[in-house]
Amino acid sequence: MQEYLKKARGGRVVQTPFIDAEALDELRRAAKAEGVGLETFGGLPMAERQVAVLFPQNIPSVSDPTKVAFIHFAGDLEALEDKLRSHLEPDLMGDLEEAQEGFLLATLPKGLKTLQEAGLEAHPATPEELPKSRERTRSVVVPSLRVDVVGAKGFGVSRNYFAQGVKAGKVKLRGKTASVKAEIAEGDTLLAEGLGSLRVKRVVGQTKRGNLKLEVEVLR
């Protein structure tokens, strides 16, 4: 990861291969410490494996390098995973999920080309084949109802990362720009730029350790 940071510090825009959430969080912390910009792209909604693009702070924005391939395949998901691994390097494999009449794979342009050259029936997914944003209802345990605490837990990112977004004015609560110390209440919705929306469906109760258990609905 240090190689990517070094290149970004030197003024270049660089991208990682597909990496998991833990590695992404570590890279986010390092990029923040180095003053390097970072955006992540997963291709599919709520993707676990993503590509990170690092860039110097003078670059206003970066483009999404991922591609989503629609694959026609007669077997099941596990059989397709085995076949993909025989043709693709792990770095080119993002999330894989079932779709109507086929499968969707998040990859990079090189990965899509490799699949086609290997004889798989794969093409860039059309807007109609791509999944719509998905909602996910989950239970979370938090020490307080502060915006940075609930937002970080609900979206599955580090608290420091989410707090930076709040300080940058990228998070809204009740339609207004939120402050780090603002508290969210039952029924409230957080809108976080680049992450999606989070609604607190209900406050379930308090745990034995004094933490709060919430039921939240996340939409990306």
Residue range 35-58, pLDDT digits in tens: 999 999 999 866 768 999 999 988
90-141 pLDDT, tens digit per residue, is 999 998 888 888 999 999 999 999 999 999 999 999 988 987 655 567 778 8
Q: For position 134, what pLDDT does the model report?
A: 58
Paired tokens of 42:
């997963």
Q: Which domains does the chain have, with CATH numbers?
A: 2-55 (3.30.1370.160), 67-124 (3.30.70), 135-219 (3.10.290.10)
Residue 161 confidence (pLDDT) above 90 = no
Residues 6+ apart with CB under 8 A from 180: 146, 147, 148, 163, 166, 167
Q: Are the CB atoms for 106 and 192 separated by under 8 Å?
A: no
Residue 19 dihedral angles phi and psi, to the nearest 5°: -135, 160
Q: For position 156, what pLDDT does the model report?
A: 76
Q: For position 46, what pLDDT does the model report?
A: 61
Q: For position 132, what pLDDT does the model report?
A: 67
Q: Are the CB atoms for 151 and 192 separated by under 8 Å?
A: yes
Paired tokens of 27:
């890279």
Kindly report the average pLDDT of the chain as a whole number.
88
Q: Number of C-alpha atoms within 13 angstroms, CB side, residue 19? A: 16
Q: Could you tell me which of 75, 58, 66, 59 has the C-alpha nearest to residue 40?
A: 66
Q: For position 60, what pLDDT does the model report?
A: 84
pTM value is: 0.61
Q: How far is CA 16 from the centre of its chain?
A: 14
Residue 56 CA to residue 23 CA, distance in Å, equals 20
Pairing status of strand 135-142 against strand 212-219? antiparallel
137-156 pLDDT, tens digit per residue, is 777 888 999 999 999 888 87
